[in-house]
């Protein structure tokens, strides 16, 4: 039996016997010759079968022709035949003249989604939606991006951790917790690995990272929110300020974007009409108060009264940065302590602001980072100011009672990065299987 060849490798293969396996994308069933476009995970190839005729011109018995005529889109099969290189063939410059077909699984003739189906309908049939090269490419990009992040971290002596997703108490806001039955008690799905990645600092790990699931019971129906998402997290010891974290963060993003551009840049340009831009360092840094002033001068007043930036403000400051610096990224820094968690360190000169930042990419926040408060007495007081009971935080506060170095880190939404990199309309497109307030399937 001829060994299976991936379609992407046909161009570099020699003419002769070949076997390919995949699913039927299209069939052109003509009177004299039949064409089938077969696609696998690596590409597509044209299969050719000239019909057989008797001497009097009538159709002869032709098992392959009958099989092709009965094919439906999506049928999985193995095709054997002779590979021919022909520059006239538009699809890759090669084709296969068929000797035989072996059907693995037939598909229902009519598919439930089409090119113009809405996103919710497509999500209902995600496994079919992902057969489209433009959609499956997203997750090849995701793989390359994550691998590049890991390579950066490992090359810089970070340790990878896998923190628990079942927690006894909240790590951030109780309002966003999913509560689950846990034997005779209650547990909560982790909103972030925040407490656990901080625990690695007094443990002496120095630098850690994690890529894993996180859960937010947030009933938002926006284009950028999900109830389950993949969080990219890092935490490092012995930092001078949040500036140390930002430097690591921007170096990490450069590594990820460089890998994506090198491996997928041409395909992204062909399928999305976009050129991936590798960001230069340092990324622009703008204090939040200054960012609001800039946005106001552009004619937009941020309406929020909680010292935060709203989505339109983020879009406006991103437009300013693009126009002024030619950059797609900007760090907004010095967020008010009133809107930041109790564990963010406050500025030594102005306690009303924190040593923290949000990273904005193409007008949308993708990450929050900060220097953490590591002094136990300060941490307890800041928790009280936020209305938290220190006794309920005892397991967390214990980390700081036995010595901990100055440290900080960030958490970043993976799907948001992909969504903005490819300029997709919403997070659903950039998530393999999306979870939102009204979606638990497939």
365 in a labelled binding site:
yes
Could you check whether the bond before residue 133 is cis, i.e. omega within 30 degrees of 0?
Answer: no
Report the relative pairing of strands 329-333 and 356-361 from DSSP bridges. antiparallel
* CATH homologous superfamily of 126-430: Bira Bifunctional Protein; Domain 2 (3.30.930.10)
- Torsions phi, psi for 50 (to 5 deg): -70, 130
Spatial distance between the Cα atoms of 430 and 76, rounded to a whole number of angstroms? 26
Identify the pLDDT of residue 304. 72
Spatial distance between the Cα atoms of 304 and 220, rounded to a whole number of angstroms? 18
DSSP 182-206: ETTEEEEE-S-SHHHHHHTTTTT--
Q: What pTM, to 2 d.p., does this model score?
A: 0.95
Identify the pLDDT of residue 169. 78
Spatial distance between the Cα atoms of 149 and 47, rounded to a whole number of angstroms? 40
Identify the pLDDT of residue 226. 96
C-alpha atoms less than 13 angstroms from C-alpha of 213 in its C-beta half-sphere: 13
CB-based burial label for 66 (10 Å; 0-12, 13-18, 19+)? exposed
Domain ranges of the chain: 7-105, 126-430
Identify the pLDDT of residue 307. 79
Q: Can you name the residues that pair with 285 across neighbouring β-strands?
A: 331
- For the chain (length 442 residues), average pLDDT per consecutive 10? 91 97 97 97 97 89 95 98 96 96 96 94 97 98 98 98 91 77 96 96 98 94 93 98 98 98 98 98 97 96 83 97 98 96 96 97 98 97 94 93 97 98 97 97 96
313 in a labelled binding site:
no
Is the separation of the CB atoms in 249 and 213 below 8 Å?
no
Q: Where are the beta strands (DSSP E) in 7-125?
A: 16-29, 33-40, 43-50, 76-85, 94-105
326 in a labelled binding site:
no
What CATH code is assigned to 7-105?
A: 2.40.50.140
416 in a labelled binding site:
yes
368 in a labelled binding site:
yes
């Amino acid at each position: 039996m001829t060994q299976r060849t991936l379609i992407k490798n046909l161009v570099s293969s020699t003419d002769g016997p070949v076997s390919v396996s995949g699913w039927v994308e299209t069939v052109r069933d003509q009177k004299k010759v039949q064409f089938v476009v077969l696609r696998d995970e690596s590409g597509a190839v044209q299969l050719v079968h000239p019909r057989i005729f008797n001497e009097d011109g009538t159709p002869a018995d032709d098992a392959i022709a009958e099989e092709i005529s009965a094919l439906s889109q999506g049928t999985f099969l193995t095709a054997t035949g002779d590979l021919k290189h022909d520059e006239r063939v538009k699809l890759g410059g090669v084709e296969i003249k068929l000797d035989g077909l072996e059907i693995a699984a037939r598909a229902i003739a009519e598919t439930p989604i089409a090119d113009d189906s809405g996103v919710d309908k497509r999500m209902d049939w995600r496994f079919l939606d992902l057969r489209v090269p433009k959609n499956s490419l997203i997750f090849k990009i995701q793989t390359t991006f994550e691998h590049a992040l890991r390579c950066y971290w490992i090359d810089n002596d970070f340790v990878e951790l896998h923190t628990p997703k079942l927690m006894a108490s909240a790590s951030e806001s109780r309002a966003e917790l999913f509560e689950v039955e846990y034997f005779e008690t209650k547990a909560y799905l982790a909103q972030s690995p925040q407490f656990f990645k901080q625990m690695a600092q007094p443990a002496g790990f120095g630098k850690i990272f994690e890529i894993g699931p996180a859960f937010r019971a947030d009933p938002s129906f926006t284009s950028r929110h999900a109830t389950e998402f993949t969080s990219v997290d890092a935490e490092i010891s012995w930092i001078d300020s949040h500036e140390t974290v930002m430097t690591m963060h921007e170096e990490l993003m450069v590594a990820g974007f460089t890998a994506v551009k090198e491996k997928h840049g041409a395909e992204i340009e062909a399928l999305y009409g976009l050129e991936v831009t590798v960001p230069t360092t340092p990324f622009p840094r703008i204090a939040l108060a200054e960012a609001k002033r800039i946005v106001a001068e552009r004619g937009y007043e941020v309406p929020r009264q909680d010292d935060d930036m709203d989505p339109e403000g983020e879009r406006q400051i991103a437009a300013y940065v693009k126009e002024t610096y030619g950059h797609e990224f900007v760090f907004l820094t010095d967020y008010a302590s009133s809107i930041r968690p109790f564990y963010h360190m406050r500025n030594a000169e102005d306690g009303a602001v924190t040593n923290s930042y949000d990273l904005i990419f193409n007008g949308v926040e993708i990450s929050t980072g900060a220097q953490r408060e590591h002094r136990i007495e300060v941490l307890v007081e800041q928790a009280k100011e936020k209305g938290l009971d220190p006794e309920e935080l005892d397991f967390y506060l214990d980390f700081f009672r036995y010595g901990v170095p100055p440290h900080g880190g960030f958490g970043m939404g993976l799907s948001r990065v992909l969504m903005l990199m490819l300029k997709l309309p919403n997070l659903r497109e950039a998530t393999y299987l999306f979870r939102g307030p009204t979606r638990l399937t497939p």
